[in-house]
A and B are shown apart, each in its own frame.
Chain A
């Protein structure tokens, strides 16, 4: 279920909190099974048919981990990781690769008409992180319930953040409501949830109305005028930020209500002064996953410049493919890989880059490549690029108000996490958040149902 839905906010969340509080208070031993049960209900609410896949994935990986611990057969881990990636490939990339195979003369086009299980990219990566660390001796063995909760914990199961086992497993063992800062966590979690909801419903969703019709027109092959193209590019730049960072704020806020601190995922990325800086601030948990489990595994910066550049390119291209089974995503990732490589060469050459110039170049690059990310085809992206250059008509009309507000908040404002952690416990602040929550509830009540962009990944 969506965090920004009445089903979640006025039904599931209060019931889950009450149940969690009751077991934590009276039956602490039932806390983790209760949380796991709640997580499976949350996951199954969307489509119960995928619950067996999630449960099976947990059980099989846990059995493999146990078998590895007992036997010490290290081959089990790469086999398990390969199996996880195979499952992900079948659901997410089968048709993509079949389209490539069909380019070979004589091979037929085969497509599987299967829905993508929500969160499969995220829980697959969770398995990979744990299994890899288990093999290197960093991770211990866990019981089935704890491991299941690591994978399926409902605030993070659908779209992250990608949590390392070492960041969360010790928290599962605690009595969260017995901590001295328990109520502070709950209060800040509530504020974070409201901030995330506000970012999504008051900025992200309205921007989608600026953006979607223009990308649809581009996909239909229509020319896009100058103002429209800039509106689409700028609008999507901030839409995806407020959509995804809003979702992450909600996830972190909800987790805090259950006494769990999840890792940060955004750190004001549109203030970045270089592309390297951007990837340290944007979807941070994915960036570090790619760094630790792909880039470094490929050699990282320890085997010379050529290997480093190749590893950067390959990592970012695969990161692009992870976002979606399409060549536009691959191109988006590859473009970032090349630009990151160029940044490495620039720094190695000792060339200067003033911060304002770095910021302008970074933002331009990021925004231009978001067009590739959002467009449904290269042709559609090209229509937008033509429009940006004024080749699709000179009409400069642009709906700029929401874009301006979003830009100011994104570039100048603090992150929601920082913001709510600075606030003191004052009644006036609580009332302001209460009013904001009510406004958000009215927005959610409208018939338009806005899913999160990252649910498709």
Chain B
């Protein structure tokens, strides 16, 4: 063999092998995105929510979604169904921010053949960023939720996708039936409790810390009118695009009392301004909108037994939030 042929074989062989592998992966559809013209078995094995939500988000069994990060994870689709009659899917992704959550909202809405009845969006301080790029703190597979086939196909070119091919094939061929919960619910309360009290001392110390003990107080917002909340514009655009009958509920998740900025601090003014911006952005563009605000001083957030840490609450609070969500939905026009 001549060296020229050797070089051509190497390059052309790699190109052909790469194209073939991508084509096969595309057809196998390892994350059940519904893009494969060949295979259509729904459902996924237990995966990180960022990957598994592609399958959940297009499941026609659901007509309502919950999106956010770990601070909304404990909201139960089952209990909400009992209270509201709606079929919720939990699509929260730990560590995610508004950029990731907008991608998930768009994915969920794009895959509804029938009317989406409700969107439940958790808005925390990550939604209060002034950076218009809404930067992500952790890697997120935006390619998986991309509208374009090219971006998705490029995204398939990664090792973690290759690793997902064998289990997906096993499922498609009937060799493995392992599936994750379709509604995406994960009760971290139960799991944390099982781990015992080893973490309790650390958690207790964290809860007792008072980060705002020495924060200066102001009579009025030192940054009045100068703060920008670009996530508010984005959620406003989502609100405007929703069908009239779809309910949009913003949930502001609670903080343990010591982590809640006390009134008069710069952080408290900023929180108020952010909440006002988000609320205003959705309410003026979509009639069926409600805000369930738990980031206020209320008795429940003063009970350390109901928190794992300053931002993660336990079942007692989750169920109280669910009750208010149901109430808010009933009150909508």
Contact = CB atoms under 8 A, between A and B. Distances in A.
A247 B2 CA distance: 28
A196 to B, nearest CB: 15
Contacts of B11: 190, 434
A184 interface: yes
A63 interface: no
A250 interface: no
Interface string B145-183: 000000000000111111000000000000000000000
A447 B9 contact: no
B21 A425 contact: no
Given A425-B1, A438-B14, A441-B18, A430 B160 contact: no
A363 to B, nearest CB: 31
Interface residues of A, number: 24
Contacts of A435: 13-14, 17
A100 interface: no
B139 A430 contact: no
A194 B4 CA distance: 17
Contacts, number: 75
Given A441-B157, A447-B158, A426 B13 contact: no
Interface string A423-445: 00111011101110110011101
Contacts of B12: 434
B159 A442 contact: yes
Given A425-B3, A427-B1, A437-B10, A446 B18 contact: no
A426 B10 contact: no
Interface string A193-215: 01000000000000000000000
Contacts of B190: none
A194 B13 CA distance: 13
B330 interface: no
Interface in B240-293: none
Given A187-B7, A425-B5, A425-B6, A430 B13 contact: yes
A353 B186 CA distance: 63
A183 interface: yes
Contacts of B13: 430-431, 434-435
Contact of B3 (A183, A433, A434, A438): A183
A191 interface: yes
A186 interface: yes
B158 A430 contact: no
Contacts of B139: 447
Nearest to B10: A430
B162 A442 contact: yes
Contact of A183 (B4, B157, B161): B4
A434 B9 contact: yes
B7 A426 contact: no
A277 B139 CA distance: 44
Contacts of B17: 434-435, 438
Contacts of B18: 438, 441
Which of B9, B13, B14, B159 has most chain A Cβ within 10 Å?
A: B14
A425 B14 contact: no
A194 B6 CA distance: 14
Interface string A407-428: 0000000000000000001110
Which of A187, A190, A429 has most chain B Cβ within 10 Å?
A: A187
A187 B162 contact: no
Contacts of B7: 183, 186-187, 190, 430
Contact of B14 (A184, A187, A434): A434
Contacts of B159: 442-443, 445-446
Contacts of A194: 10
A432 B17 CA distance: 11
A186 B3 contact: yes
A429 B3 CA distance: 12
Contacts of B160: 446
Interface string B4-36: 111101111110011001000000000000000
Contacts of B14: 433-435, 437-438, 441
A445 B158 contact: yes
A187 B10 contact: yes
Nearest to A181: B3
Given A183-B2, A426-B1, A434-B17, A191 B10 contact: yes
A210 to B, nearest CB: 17
A187 B21 contact: no
A187 B157 contact: no
A446 B158 contact: yes
A119 to B, nearest CB: 28
A433 B10 contact: yes
B162 A430 contact: no
A159 B7 CA distance: 27
A446 B10 CA distance: 23
Contacts of A438: 14, 17-18, 21
Nearest to B25: A442
B9 A427 contact: yes
Contacts of A426: 1, 6
A424 to B, nearest CB: 8
A442 B12 CA distance: 17
A429 B157 CA distance: 24
A438 B2 CA distance: 23
Contacts of A190: 7, 10-11
A186 B158 CA distance: 27
Which of B10, B13, B160, B161 has most chain A Cβ within 10 Å?
A: B10
Nearest to B139: A447
A187 B5 CA distance: 9
Contacts of B9: 427, 430-431, 434
B157 A442 contact: yes
Nearest to B158: A445
A412 B13 CA distance: 30
Contacts of A441: 14, 18, 157
A446 B21 CA distance: 16
Nearest 3 pairs of A and B residues by beta carbon: A434-B13, A445-B158, A430-B9
22 contacts: A186-B7, A187-B4, A187-B6, A187-B7, A190-B7, A425-B1, A425-B3, A426-B1, A426-B6, A427-B5, A427-B9, A430-B1, A433-B14, A434-B12, A435-B13, A438-B14, A438-B18, A441-B18, A442-B162, A443-B159, A445-B157, A445-B161
Given A186-B7, A194-B10, 18 more contacts: A183-B2, A183-B7, A187-B4, A190-B10, A191-B10, A425-B5, A426-B6, A427-B1, A430-B6, A430-B13, A434-B9, A435-B14, A437-B10, A441-B14, A442-B158, A443-B159, A445-B158, A446-B159
